[in-house]
Every structure is written in structure tokens, then in C-alpha cells.
Amino acid sequence: MTAPYEVTDYATAAGLVHHGLGITLMPATPAAAYPDLVPVPLHPVITWTLSLTTRTDLQLTPAAAALADTPLTEYLQRRVANGRKGSSGDSVGDAISGKRTR
């Protein structure tokens, strides 16, 4: 399969979909910004591996080091427990699966 359009930002991808020129893959949170588009869940679920990234010549700030030492799932569970919601209205972390690397 070849794609006649390949874009790198969500707004352009959403515009192409809106005008019937294709489909796109995007995370649920940014997809919620486009109410005229319909999300279709994928099976199996696609997960992303996330990493905290910095320049090799810089040390992490104390805040970044604390984040790196806290598993992301623990952080997200605390946010959900405190009632924080993502921009789409879903509980933060509902569909997040990640692995911390340094």
C-alpha cells in the first residue's frame, strides 16, 4: 500500500480525513480535538514505548531526575486517583502503556 499524502502533524492529518482524502492514526487525546472525526479503536491495541530524553552533555534537573525515578504508571495512577482527567475527558492513563528507559 502506498500513501499519496504523508504528514507529520495532527491538524493536517485531521484536515485530510475531514475532506475525505484518507485515514490517519493518532493518539486518542489529540483525536478528541476533532469532534467531526470518529475514532475507531484498533485491535490489538497499539502501545508506545516512551522515554525521558535529554542531551548527553547535560545532567537532569532535580525535577527531571525525580520524574525519571518514578514509574510512569505510578504517576498516572496517582493523577487518576486525584480525579485528574485528560483533555479528551478520559481518565489519564486509560490507554497508556509505557516503559521507562534512561
Residues above pLDDT 90, as percent of the chain: 24
Write down how long the chain is: 102
The pLDDT value recorded for residue 84 is: 55
Per domain, the residue ranges of the chain are 1-40, 47-102
The pLDDT value recorded for residue 88 is: 42
Cα atoms in the Cβ-side hemisphere of radius 13 Å centred on 101 = 7
Model pLDDT for residues 23-66, shown as the tens digit of each residue? 998 888 889 999 999 988 889 988 878 778 888 898 888 988 88
Taking 90 as the threshold, does the pLDDT of residue 12 lie above it?
Answer: yes
pTM of the model: 0.52
Provide the pLDDT confidence category of residue 17 given band limits of 50, 70 and 90. Answer: very high
- Of the given ranges (27-36, 74-83, 86-95), which has the lowest mean pLDDT? 86-95
Asked if 17 and 6 count as a contact pair (C-beta separation under 8 A), the reply is no
Sign of CA dihedral 26, 102, 97, 71: negative
The CA distance from 11 to 17, in Å, is: 10
Residues above pLDDT 70, as percent of the chain: 79
What average pLDDT is seen over the chain?
A: 77
The CA distance from 26 to 48, in Å, is: 12
